[in-house]
Amino acid sequence: MAEEQELLLLRQDERDRLKVLHEVKQGHLTQVAAAEQLGISERWVREMVRRVRKKGDRAVVHGLRGRPSKRRIERKVQERAVQLYRKEYGDFGPTLAAEYLAEKHKIVVSKETLRKWLMEAGVWEAKPRRVKAVHIWRPRRSCRGELVQWDTSIHDWLEGRGREPIKLIAMIDDASSELFARFVAEDTTVEHMQVLRSYLERNGRPQAFYTDKATLFLVNARRIGYGEEITQEGESQIGRALRELGIELIHAHSPQAKGRVERCFGTLQDRLIKGLRKAGATTRAEANQYLEQVFVGQWKKRFSRLPANPVDAHRPLGAGQDLNSILSHVENRRVANDYTVSWDGKLYQISREAVRAGIRGSFLRVEGRLDGTVWVRVGDTAVEVKRCERQLPEVARKTAPEPRKDHNRGGRSQWMSEFELKKAMPGWKAQRIADLAG
């Protein structure tokens, strides 16, 4: 009876090792030279040669190949994880699903193991990697607070559960990837100033903010003179506030330039949306509560990093930097003869105690503050002004004058009526000539 032959599958490194061991076995290569080629000791070469003589070519194959690992996760755990994924985390990626399984269900499994399970179950398909456009890499700033990227994301954060849409304003530190974010009702200057105030009160003044060229941060360019090609960019209310706070405002020329906050929004639109869904948030208040109390801590643990330099570049607010005054809508208005100023179509009276010589007819700084009050800066003193009962006169509309009653409209005078009557009579022209001749 012919001896059965075994089909043996070897890796390339195992075939290379087997060739060297056969050379030693046949006496074509010394054990010292074989040890140098294989990168092992001479003692281990002798042991491998002994195994080849005893077991044949199978000696180079690890003895545990093909056997189930003793550290393998039990089958019932795998089935439980796939069942939970199908039931509760159907649109989650393997990475985020693995974190939720560990936190909520105590199933600790790596993301790659979970990915393999989901692919075997047919609920996850491997996605081909897309080659992205190459951009010049910019190194991180070294200190926390040296540069903070600032932007807004307009997205369906509540997935239709809320009555009104909400927007997310996010600030991310360039050195540490530390996140500061708030949900707001509208993407307006007032909302941005309120978020900025919260950031300054918690962290202090950073060295610079990095934003896009939205009109919230940069007023459109205008021509300096008639027929001139040179233009200059105006200053927005946020730009003015940052200048008074001593914070540099840098404008990005492309979305790729502020890639850190753009990638941050990509992560938030995946993880934060799913977290809000699991928390059952339906209002802006509930969304902010989950964001501040739960998600920011998860972000810090998962994505934040230690800056290269432990020095904090944030600066405290100065004694003369009043956030109530700086974070407001500021314009210069002329003081009328009765010591009133106009603001938002209304008149406001400067109190008698605040009146100073020479302010009548001059321009003063008027501040429409975030709390709805209006203040006027007289010299170095800010004074709150009250709304007057007397309002600004309304501009009368220009209307066309009524036509005169004797106005000849449409050619319908008495003479024309008689002419048309005669014109309708037969032979009127001959009669007219006869009348003129007689």
pLDDT at 3: 46
pLDDT at 364: 92
Cβ(145)–Cβ(313) below 8 Å: yes
Average pLDDT rounded to a whole number, residues 218-237: 65
Polymer length in residues for the chain:
438
pLDDT at 183: 96
Q: Quote the Cα angle for 87-90-94, to 5°.
A: 115
| CA distance linking residue 45 with residue 36, whole number of Å | 10
| CA distance linking residue 174 with residue 260, whole number of Å | 7
Q: How many CB atoms lie within 10 A of CB 78?
A: 19
Closest CA to 363 of 377, 380, 348: 377
The answer to pTM > 0.85 is: no
pLDDT at 17: 84
The radius of gyration computed from the CA coordinates of the chain, to the nearest angstrom, equals 41
Cβ(271)–Cβ(96) below 8 Å: yes
Cβ(153)–Cβ(200) below 8 Å: no
For residue range 131-144, what is the model confidence (pLDDT) as tens digits?
566 556 678 899 99
Range in 11-15, 326-330, 369-373, 410-414 with the lowest mean pLDDT:
410-414
Q: 13 or 382: whose pLDDT is higher?
A: 382
Domain coordinates in residue numbering, the chain = 12-60, 75-121, 143-221+233-312, 328-387
Helix axes 75-88, 94-104, angle to 10 degrees: 110
pLDDT at 52: 87
| CA distance linking residue 159 with residue 156, whole number of Å | 5
Average pLDDT rounded to a whole number, residues 144-171: 92
Q: Write the secondary structure of 191-240 as one string of H (helix), E (strand) and C (coil).
A: HHHHHHHHHHHHHCECCEEEECCCCCCEEEEEECCCCCCCEEEEECHHHH
For residue range 61-117, what is the model confidence (pLDDT) as tens digits?
877 777 777 778 888 888 889 999 999 998 898 999 999 999 889 999 999 999 998
DSSP state of 307: -
Instruction: Note the helical H segments in 280-349.
Output: 284-290, 296-302, 323-326
Contacts of 335 (CB under 8 A, 6+ apart): 341, 350, 359, 360, 361, 362, 363, 364
Cβ(18)–Cβ(53) below 8 Å: no
For residue range 197-215, what is the model confidence (pLDDT) as tens digits?
999 999 999 999 999 988 8
Q: Is 190 helix (H, G, I), strand (E, B) or coil?
A: helix
For residue range 407-437, what is the model confidence (pLDDT) as tens digits?
555 555 555 666 665 666 666 666 666 666 6
| CA distance linking residue 33 with residue 60, whole number of Å | 18
354 burial level (CB within 10 Å; 0-12, 13-18, 19+)? middle
* Phi, psi for 176 (deg, rounded to 5): -115, -5
Range in 57-66, 117-126, 261-270, 427-436 with the lowest mean pLDDT:
427-436
| CA distance linking residue 152 with residue 419, whole number of Å | 76
DSSP state of 294: I
pLDDT at 215: 85
pLDDT at 201: 95
As a CATH number, domain 143-221+233-312 is 3.30.420.10
pLDDT at 285: 94
Q: Is 267 helix (H, G, I), strand (E, B) or coil?
A: helix
Residue 33 has pLDDT above 60, yes or no: yes
Q: Kindly provide the residue ranges of all beta strands, DSSP E only, lying in 38-104, ordered along the sequence.
A: none
DSSP state of 292: I
